[in-house]
Chain A
Amino acid sequence: MNHQQKTYEQKAYEKIQKKHEAKRPLLRNCIVAFFVGGLISMIGQGITYFYIYFFNFTEKTASNPTVATMIFLSMLLTGFGVYDRLGQFAGAGSAVPVTGFGNAVISAAIEHRSEGFVLGVGSNMFKLAGSVILFGVFSAFVVALIKTIFTGLGGG
């Protein structure tokens, strides 16, 4: 009895959810994501040139310090609460760049600080970003394995 009632309520809730989800302003979201994501990438390009001209990195290697710098900036913005507000405004525009990855790690670390540094910060740091690392590493493993076997056969 109780169970049936719950499923009915769930159905009603799903109906309400669908009604509200349909109202997502797709065009506005896409334009904002495009501009914010593009702007973050352009800032990254500026940092890349900074490292090429002042620290003797090449165009290939300069992306590494650039990523580190972007994540550092992401730490400051996350700490002061700016990045979360940007995320609400820009959606994927702030989530897809590497700063969003940094934000996921850093906000989890800050959030769980009250549980202590070992059990809180340490074990929850990759709570959100862990799936990105897992599927990134595993798909890279499969792709690299296939490619190595194929090029090995082609060369040998």
Chain B
Amino acid sequence: MLAMFFWSFIVGGFICMIGQLLFDLAKLTPGHTLSLLVVIGAIMDGLDLYEPLIDFAGAGATIPITSFGNALVHGAIQEAEKHGIIGVITGMFEVTSSGISSAIIFAFIGALLFKSKG
């Protein structure tokens, strides 16, 4: 269990450091960087590389935004195995529902509770 905390720290930190390098060296905006990381996550799951990383590093792999791409591909493939090619579209948000729904719900609650300081 302690090893899992350690590796989640290392892997999560490493992915964030790649993001920082894209900020500073490639001079990408945060929007471009995050989009690129999501695409990388999706491609990694297509090559079956992301699941081993989650087994190895736990939240170190599921908390960075790359796991969003991974979860999208995962849901799509899961559903495609059951229902054929149409499952790619119908299963897309199956696994990653919690991220999008909680973002929408909490953002609305946040807008109700807090006022802009600007």
Q: Is the CB of A144 within 8 A of B77?
A: yes
- Residue-by-residue, is A120-131 near B (CB-CB < 8 Å gives 1, otherwise 0)? 010001001101
Q: Is the CB of A95 within 8 A of B88?
A: no
- With A92-B33, A96-B65: A24-B24 Cβ-Cβ less than 8 Å: yes
Q: Is the CB of A37 within 8 A of B99?
A: no
Contact among B15, B72, B98 with A67 in the assembled complex (CB-CB below 8 Å): B98
Q: Which of A37-87 contact B (CB under 8 A)?
A: 37-42, 44-49, 59, 63-68, 70-72, 74-75, 78-81
Q: Is the CB of B111 within 8 A of A95?
A: no
| Least distance between B114 CB and chain A CB atoms (Å) | 4
Residue B34 at the A interface, CB < 8 A? yes
Q: Is the CB of A110 within 8 A of B115?
A: yes
Q: Given the complex of chains A and B, what is the CA–CA distance between A98 and B102 in angstroms?
A: 11
How many residues of A are counted as interface, with CB atoms below 8 angstroms from the partner's CB atoms?
A: 79
Beyond known contacts A67-B63, A101-B34: 8 more, CB 8 A cutoff: A41-B11, A41-B60, A45-B60, A67-B99, A96-B65, A97-B12, A147-B46, A149-B85
Instruction: Sample 10 A-B pairs with CB under 8 A, ordered by A number.
Output: A36-B16, A37-B17, A45-B8, A47-B59, A67-B98, A93-B16, A121-B107, A135-B36, A145-B85, A148-B81
Residues of A within 8 A of B (CB): 21, 24, 26, 29-30, 33-42, 44-49, 59, 63-68, 70-72, 74-75, 78-81, 91-93, 95-102, 105-106, 108-111, 113-114, 117, 121, 125, 128-129, 131-137, 139-141, 143-149, 152
Residues of B within 8 A of A (CB): 1, 4-5, 8-25, 27, 30-31, 33-39, 41-43, 45-46, 54, 58-60, 62-65, 67-69, 72-73, 76-77, 80-81, 85, 87-89, 92, 95, 97-104, 106-111, 113-118
